[in-house]
């Protein structure tokens, strides 16, 4: 497996890795079409609980083999009008909850294609580009390329941290700056707009988040084999859970990530903290701290890894506290320049509110999750 630092993976994801199909439309206008996908089978050793790879889903997998839990498909087109102006569109199909306007709200569709990105980009300076439209919400270190399984060393990203932020994009504006100073590559992202997401959690049931004012900022530094990133996201969402009162939830995330990748050793670690203001009568709906550490070593085209993940949650004003954790192992085998076979085994406790659709709140029983799949780009 070739070395793929976090920011390199982000750049690859932004253009879907390769321009597999390019066409000249005339007058200097070109279009590049490319894509990616993951086909994965997942099962568990417990038929009483449904494991889900995202907290935004109301359907999971038990002992029966499930192809929808971790599979997805994306296709992207980039239309370039000149060296400075382009339009990018990306469509992603995967399992997701139906919209709030749907009669089946609260239920998942096994394969639901939706527009993930659709933005115009203008390169204002060699080091600065501006985007307008639907753009990625850069919450964490790997958020920019999270859907592109081929860019990741594992089959499934650490659940507790990456499920803590349900939104993957927003409609608004984004500025991206990148430059180099003395051998250090620096970059920053500033994003503002409207974002929405759906989720299911114990005590809350199915819910819809519609943040009218969403702010995000991140800064990243790369030096040799090291990548470090800090970021923050601020959501402002009307709370409709109390009849006659509609206060606004101010949801704030701060995060830090670190990666070391020298071509043989690979280590990733991230930490995030989520805070909220108190709502009338119910207090703070949810707050938490999230972290993971993953480490592996490349043996030619094979990359085995060990992954540890942890969360500390407080819900409904602190009346419900959970401290889920997980440990897992993954294996990646690059069989071709654009295809990677992967296997992953994770172990969660039965009372984990992020991992299971309806957790067993009183059980410490451990549930094993087994996944086997292939990532590809074209």
pLDDT in tens, 167-183: 999 999 999 999 999 99
Helix %, strand %, coil % of the chain (to 5): 5, 60, 35
Q: Is residue 13 scored above 80 in pLDDT?
A: no
75 has pLDDT over 90 = yes
- Between residues 270 and 110, which one has the greater pLDDT? 270
Higher local confidence (pLDDT), 32 or 110:
32
Instruction: Check whether 345 has a pLDDT greater than 90.
Output: yes
Q: Which residue has the tokens 């819809």?
A: 208
Q: What is the pLDDT of residue 14?
A: 42
pLDDT digits (tens, 9 = 90+) for 317-335: 666 788 999 999 999 999 9
pLDDT above 90 coverage of the chain, percent: 67
Model confidence band, residue 33 (pLDDT cutoffs 50, 70, 90)? very high
**pLDDT score of 158:** 96
CA dist., res. 104 & res. 347, Å (int)? 31
Question: What is the mean pLDDT of the segment spanning 228-252?
Answer: 80
> Is the pLDDT higher at 205 or at 314?
314
DSSP-assigned beta bridge partners for residue 201: 205
What is the per-residue pLDDT for 2? 42
Confidence of residue 246 (pLDDT cuts 50, 70, 90): low
Name which residue leads in pLDDT, 4 or 116.
116
pLDDT bin (cut points 50, 70, 90) of residue 102 is: low
Residue 206 has pLDDT above 80, yes or no: no
- State yes or no: pLDDT of 189 exceeds 80: yes
Q: What span, in angstroms and rounded, lies between the C-alpha atoms of 97 and 112?
A: 9
pTM over 0.85: yes
Most confidently predicted of 2-6, 209-213, 303-307: 303-307
Query: Distances from the Cα of 242 to the Cαs of 239, 278, 281, in angstroms?
Result: 8, 13, 9
Nearest-angstrom CA–CA distance, 113 and 93: 4
Q: How confident is the model at residue 1 (pLDDT cuts 50, 70, 90)?
A: very low
Helix/strand/coil for 143: helix
């Amino acid at each position: 497996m070739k070395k793929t630092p976090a920011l390199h993976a982000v750049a690859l994801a932004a253009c879907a890795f390769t321009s597999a199909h390019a066409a000249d439309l005339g007058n200097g206008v070109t279009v590049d079409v490319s894509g990616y996908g993951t086909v994965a089978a997942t099962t568990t050793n417990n038929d009483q609980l449904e494991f889900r790879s995202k907290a935004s889903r109301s359907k999971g997998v038990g002992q029966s083999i499930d192809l929808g839990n971790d599979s997805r498909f994306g296709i992207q087109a980039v239309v370039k009008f000149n060296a400075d102006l382009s339009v990018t569109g990306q469509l992603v199909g995967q399992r997701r909850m139906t919209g709030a306007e749907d009669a089946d709200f609260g239920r998942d569709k096994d394969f639901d294609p939706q527009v993930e990105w659709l933005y115009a980009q203008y390169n204002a300076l060699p080091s600065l580009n501006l985007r307008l439209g639907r753009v990625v919400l850069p919450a964490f270190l790997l958020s920019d390329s999270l859907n592109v399984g081929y860019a990741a060393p594992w089959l499934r990203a650490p659940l507790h941290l990456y499920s803590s932020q349900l939104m993957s994009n927003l409609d608004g504006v984004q500025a991206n700056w990148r430059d180099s100073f003395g051998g250090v590559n620096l970059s920053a992202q500033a994003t503002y707009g409207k974002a929405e997401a759906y989720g299911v959690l114990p005590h809350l049931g199915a819910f819809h988040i519609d943040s009218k004012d969403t702010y995000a900022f991140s800064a990243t530094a790369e030096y040799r084999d090291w990548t470090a990133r800090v970021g923050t996201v601020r959501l402002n969402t009307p709370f409709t859970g109390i009849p006659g009162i509609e206060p606004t939830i101010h949801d704030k995330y701060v995060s830090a990530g670190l990666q070391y990748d020298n071509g043989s050793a690979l280590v990733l670690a991230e930490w995030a903290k989520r805070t909220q203001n108190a709502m009338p009568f119910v207090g703070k709906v949810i707050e938490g701290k999230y972290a993971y550490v993953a480490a592996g070593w490349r043996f030619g085209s094979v990359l085995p890894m060990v992954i540890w993940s942890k969360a500390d949650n407080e819900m409904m004003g602190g009346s419900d506290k959970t401290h889920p954790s997980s440990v897992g192992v993954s294996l990646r085998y690059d069989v071709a320049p654009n295809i990677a076979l992967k296997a992953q085994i994770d172990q969660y406790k039965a009372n984990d509110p992020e991992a299971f659709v309806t957790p067993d709140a009183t059980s410490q029983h451990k549930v094993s999750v087994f996944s086997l799949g292939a990532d590809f780009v074209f």
